[in-house]
Amino acid sequence: MDLEFNKNEDVNKQLVYQLKQKLKKVYLGGGEKSSAKQKAKGKMLARERVKFLLDDNKPFLEIGAFAAEGMYEDVGGCPSAGVIAGIGYISGKQCMIVANDATVKAGAWFPMTAKKNLRAQEIAMENRLPIIYLVDSAGVFLPMQDEIFPDKEHFGRIFRNNAIMSSEGIIQISAIMGSCVAGGAYLPIMSDEAMIVDGTGSVFLAGSYLVKSAIGESVDNETLGGASTHCEISGVTDYKHENDEKCLTAIKSIVSKIGAPEDAGFNRIKSAMPKRKLEDVYGILPDTREKPYDMHQLLECLIDEDSLDEYKAGFGQSIVCGLARIDGWAVGIVANQRKVVKSGKGEMQIGGVIYSDSADKATRFIMNCNQKKIPLVFLQDVTGFMVGSRSEHGGIIKDGAKMVNAVSNSVVPKFTIVLGNSYGAGNYAMCGKAYDPRLIFAWPTAKIAVMSGASAGKTLWQIQSASMKNAGEEITKEEEEKQIKIITDRYDEQTTPYYAASRLWVDGVIDPIETRVAISMGIEAANQSPIKKRFNVGIIQT
C-alpha cells in the first residue's frame, strides 16, 4: 500500500474510533445513578429490553442514536432523545422497535423525542413493518410543552399514526413496562395488543396527584391504573406479566405467529463479498474532503464482486450510474465521481460537481430503475451543480430540475449514504432527507450544509465587512483573517454528521464497513411493502 493510502487509513480509522466512543457514551442513557434506580424497581434498562427481544447473532439497525445530541443542555440533556429505535429481528421477522429510556428524565418526551418516534413510525409505515412499543414514560416534558404538543408534526401525530397503521393492517404491539401517563396512554391502547408488567407498569390519563387536585379523590397509582386494574376491571390491557422478561418473551411468541408479508418482488440472488476488503474504504477515502478520489475504487469495497453494469460510462462522468448488487440485492447506484474527468468534448470536469450531462444521465438512469423495479442507492459526495455563464447558457437549471423531478417522483425505494460533502442543491438531487429516502445514513467523514465552511466564511464575511465599512470602521488584514476564522469555525460546527444526526437530518452516523448491512436490511424491509403507485414524472424540462 502507498503512503497516501496509509495516511487516509489512519485518519479515517481515528474518526471511526471517535464515533464508537460517542456511541458508548450515548448507550449509558441517563447515567449510572438513574440506571441503578430502574434496577432497584426490578426493571430492565431500555437497551437490555431491546437486546432481550432481538434474535441472537442478528444485526440491529439503530435509528437516531445521536438524536438530541448537544441539545437541551440547560435542563441536563436528553441522550438519544430518551428513546431507542431501530429495525431488528424478532422470531425471525423484521420489526421496528421503539423503547422509552426511563433513565433519561423518566422517559419524558422532548421535542426531538416526538420527531424520533414519528420517524420510527414513518419507517414502519413505508415498509409495512410490525412495530413494537416498549412504553416507560412520564409523558410530555412540561417546560417545553409548546414545542411538542399542538402542531401537525408534534405529539398528537403519533396517535394519528397509530390509527392509520391499524387501518392499513400494519401490526402494532405495546408493552407497558413503566409509567404511561396522560396523552401517552393512548399509544399502547391504540395498538393491536397491549400487555402490562405487574407492579411496575401503570397507565392512566391522570395520576393520583392530578386526580386529587382535579376532583378531590384520594387514590394510589396502582389502584388507579396498575396491571390488575386494567386486566381485571377496566379491560384496557390484554395481557398481564409478572416481570419484564416474561412480558418480552410473550411478545416474541406473538411475533412468531404473524403471517408472512406480501412480497414487493425486488430481485435477490446469493450474496457475494466485494472485490476489495470492506476495510479498504478507510484507505481510499481521502483524509480531507477537498481531495479527489475514484468512486469506482470505493464501489469495489461496497458492491458484490463483478456485479456492476455501468450505465453510459463515457458520458456525464461526474456521476457514476450502474446496476449492481449489494448483499445479493439488485440495486441502481447513483454516485458522485470525485476525481477530475475529461468529457468527450474535451472539457475538464471537477469531481463532486453535477454538470448538465451527468444530470441528464442520472435522470434517465433513475427512470430506468423505476421501470425495472430496482431500488436506488445514492452515494453522496457532492459540492453542488456547476455554476458560471457557460453552465447557465447550457441550461444547468433545467437539467438539475429534471434530476430533482425524477428523484422526487421515484416509486422504488431509495437509500442514501452521505460519504463526504453534501452541499446545496446537490444534496437535493442526490436524494437528501427532503426526498424521502427509506433510510439515510452518514459516514463520520460527511459534511452537510448549503456550502462548504470556507466558502460560507468568505461569503458571510463579505456581508459583515460591508456593514462595518458603512459604519466607518477600519478593518486590518489581521482582523479580517480572525473574523473569517471565527465565522468559518462556527459554520463548520453545523456541518458535522453529528449535528445532522442530532436533528435527524440523517438516521444515524455509521462506520463505513456497516454500509452493506444497512442497505441490505433496508431493502429487505422495503421488500415487505409492494409498490402501489405508478411512476410518473409529470411535466419535465427538455
- DSSP codes, 82-140: GEEEEEEEETTEEEEEEEE-TTTGGGPBPHHHHHHHHHHHHHHHHHT--EEEEEEE--B
Residue 399 predicted with pLDDT over 60: yes
Q: Distance between CA atoms of 522 and 273, rounded to whole angstroms?
A: 18
Please tell me whether residues 480 and 395 are part of one structural domain: no
Biggest CA pair distance of the chain: 85
pLDDT digits (tens, 9 = 90+) for 29-78: 999 999 999 999 999 999 999 999 999 999 999 999 999 999 999 999 99
Residue 200 predicted with pLDDT over 70: yes
- Choose among 271, 201, 211: nearest CA to 236: 201
Q: Distance between CA atoms of 407 and 427, rounded to whole angstroms?
A: 11
Output the nine-digit C-alpha cell for 44.
430492565
Residue 205 predicted with pLDDT over 80: no
Please tell me whether residues 310 and 360 are part of one structural domain: yes
Contact partners, residue 2, CB within 8 Å, separation at least 6:
none
| Residues spanned by the domain of 430 | 278-446+506-527
Of 221-230, 251-260, 322-331, least confident by mean pLDDT is 221-230
Contact partners, residue 455, CB within 8 Å, separation at least 6:
none
Cα 118 to Cα 29, 50, 121, 140, 435, distances in angstroms: 20, 19, 5, 15, 17
Please tell me whether residues 178 and 67 are part of one structural domain: yes
Please tell me whether residues 68 and 214 are part of one structural domain: yes
- Choose among 337, 227, 326: nearest CA to 273: 326
Please tell me whether residues 400 and 520 are part of one structural domain: yes
Q: Distance between CA atoms of 172 and 458, rounded to whole angstroms?
A: 51
Residue 208 predicted with pLDDT over 70: no
Q: Do the domain assignments include residue 269?
A: no
Q: Do the domain assignments include residue 17?
A: no
- Choose among 449, 420, 287, 282: nearest CA to 351: 420
Tell me the chain's radius of gyration from C-alpha atoms: 25
Please tell me whether residues 198 and 109 are part of one structural domain: yes
Q: Do the domain assignments include residue 264?
A: no
Q: Distance between CA atoms of 91 and 392, rounded to whole angstroms?
A: 56
Residue owning grid cell 400487555:
195
Asked whether the beta carbons of 137 and 207 are under 8 A apart, the reply is no
Q: Do the domain assignments include residue 292?
A: yes
DSSP state letters, 444-489: TT-EEESS-HHHHHHHHHHHHHHHHHHTT----HHHHHHHHHHHHH
Residue 526 predicted with pLDDT over 70: yes
- Whole-prediction pTM: 0.93
Cα 535 to Cα 247, 323, 412, 416, distances in angstroms: 44, 19, 9, 20
Of 20-34, 54-68, 182-196, 492-506, least confident by mean pLDDT is 182-196
- Choose among 88, 85, 48, 53: nearest CA to 67: 85
Residue 320 predicted with pLDDT over 60: yes
- Identify the band that residue 461 occupies on the pLDDT scale cut at 50, 70 and 90: low
Output the nine-digit C-alpha cell for 509.
452516523
Length of the chain: 542
Residue 170 predicted with pLDDT over 80: yes
DSSP state letters, 10-26: HHHHHHHHHHHHHHHHH
Output the nine-digit C-alpha cell for 239.
395481557
How many structural domains comprise the chain? 3
Residue 481 predicted with pLDDT over 90: no
Q: Do the domain assignments include residue 262?
A: no
Please tell me whether residues 150 and 40 are part of one structural domain: yes
Please tell me whether residues 298 and 356 are part of one structural domain: yes
What CATH number should be reported for the domain holding residue 522? 3.90.226.10
Q: Do the domain assignments include residue 18?
A: no
Please tell me whether residues 298 and 170 are part of one structural domain: no
Residue 369 predicted with pLDDT over 60: yes
DSSP type of residue 333? E
Please tell me whether residues 516 and 479 are part of one structural domain: no
Q: Do the domain assignments include residue 20?
A: no
Q: How much of the chain, in percent, has pLDDT values that exceed 90?
A: 70
Contact partners, residue 137, CB within 8 Å, separation at least 6:
82, 100, 102, 106, 107, 108, 109, 178, 179, 180, 181, 184
Please tell me whether residues 77 and 158 are part of one structural domain: yes
69-75 long-range Cβ contacts below 8 angstroms, 24+ apart: 69/22, 69/26, 69/498, 69/501, 69/502, 70/498, 70/499, 70/502, 71/110, 71/112, 71/502, 72/110, 72/112, 75/105, 75/141, 75/143
Please tell me whether residues 327 and 376 are part of one structural domain: yes
Asked whether the beta carbons of 182 and 202 are under 8 A apart, the reply is no
Q: Do the domain assignments include residue 537?
A: no
379, β-bridge pairs = 335, 417
Residue 298 predicted with pLDDT over 60: yes
Residue owning grid cell 431500555:
46
